[in-house]
Chains A and B, each alone.
Chain A
Amino acid sequence: MAYSEKVLDHYNNPRNVGSLDKADPNVGTGMVGAPECGDVMKLQVKVNPETGVIEDAKFKTFGCGSAIASSSLATEMLKGKTVDEALAIKNTELVNELSLPPVKIHCSVLAEDAIKAAIADYKKKQSVATPAAAPTLA
């Protein structure tokens, strides 16, 4: 099966490969995997806590070309979006943009899951870090 031009482009020149400091309270990390193909994907976002805007996004994916392209494109889309806008990103957008064939749709689902997991991690860290959420119940 041939990959589309866009998949090849992201595969050969992946954007935003790397990692952000996991311990940073403004960084959310999403780690997801697909048992059926053995793919594992780490996607991180760095959020400006003042504005709620994603300032940086990094990923590292071990998997097929479509999984790499999906996560690479996802990091591009994430930058400049607010956390809520990021949560609205659907895997179908990745499918359309990359012209993924039906057998590779699960790769885009994985990328969407990674976004959601990263944002959830960020939110969790924020709620713990906020003084208001400190355990006042005794």
Chain B
Amino acid sequence: MSHPCWQCGAFFNALFCDSCRAIQRPPDNYYELFGLPRQLALDEQDLERRFYALSRRLHPDLFTRRSEREKQFSTDATALLNDGYRVLRDPVRRAEYVLKQAGFPIGEQGTRDVPPDLLEEVFELNLALEELKGGDHSVEPTLHQARAHFESLLREIDQELAGAFRDYDATGEREVLARIRAILNRRKYISNLVNEVRVALQRAA
């Protein structure tokens, strides 16, 4: 992607003009900002290296003696860089970001993405949680078991997600994105539960 530099008119294809070196208006897309292809499977070490390298080049302290425009671009770029790093380094948030960019509403999907068996299990777990809150400690072993089960489910889901990431990177198909959204919904559901069980067991201890 290349745009004409705002200062000298030459074209650049990064955050700085190739010709006069002026900082440019940062792209509003995290992938572009990090100079990465739009891939779901990312090398996290590479991402970290890019983050530190860019932080050093974009830091507002480097622009204190520059024009207002450059100061502004540097501040904007640094803010975007921090947000982008937070999003891209977390596979779940990264996937949510890519889905949103592709026009997929997240979270607006109703019941269809949660398999009935799982709902049943979730319901039973909630019942046990309620009993524990009501002072019935006999459900504690059930809850410990449920927690271990849901945690292993979470690990399975993460593997499934990684597989779907590779599929999407290979094919670029929207169908895969729909699958990813379903996986994310399931994951959120379960991670909320795991947290709830953790908190409840801690309180009961």
Contact = CB atoms under 8 A, between A and B. Distances in A.
A31 interface: yes
Contacts of A36: 107-108, 185, 188
A110 B111 contact: yes
Contacts of A35: 107, 109, 113-114, 185-186, 188-189
A44 B156 CA distance: 32
Instruction: Give chain B's interface residue range (CB within 8 Å of chain A).
Output: 20 to 34
Interface in B84-134: 107-111, 113-114, 116, 119-120, 122-123, 126-127, 130
Interface in A43-95: 60, 62
Nearest to B196: A38
B100 to A, nearest CB: 14
B119 A40 contact: yes
B28 to A, nearest CB: 25
Does more than half of chain B's interface fall in helix, strand or loop, or is it mixed?
helix
A109 interface: yes
Contacts, number: 49
A42 B111 contact: no
Given A109-B110, A113-B110, A33 B188 contact: no
Contacts of B113: 35
A32 B112 CA distance: 9
B185 A31 contact: no
A100 interface: no
Contacts of B171: none
16 contacts: A31-B116, A32-B119, A34-B111, A35-B185, A35-B186, A35-B188, A35-B189, A38-B189, A40-B119, A40-B123, A60-B127, A62-B126, A62-B130, A106-B110, A110-B111, A113-B110
The 10 closest A-B pairs by CB, nearest first: A35-B185, A36-B107, A62-B126, A38-B192, A32-B111, A35-B189, A31-B119, A33-B114, A33-B119, A40-B122
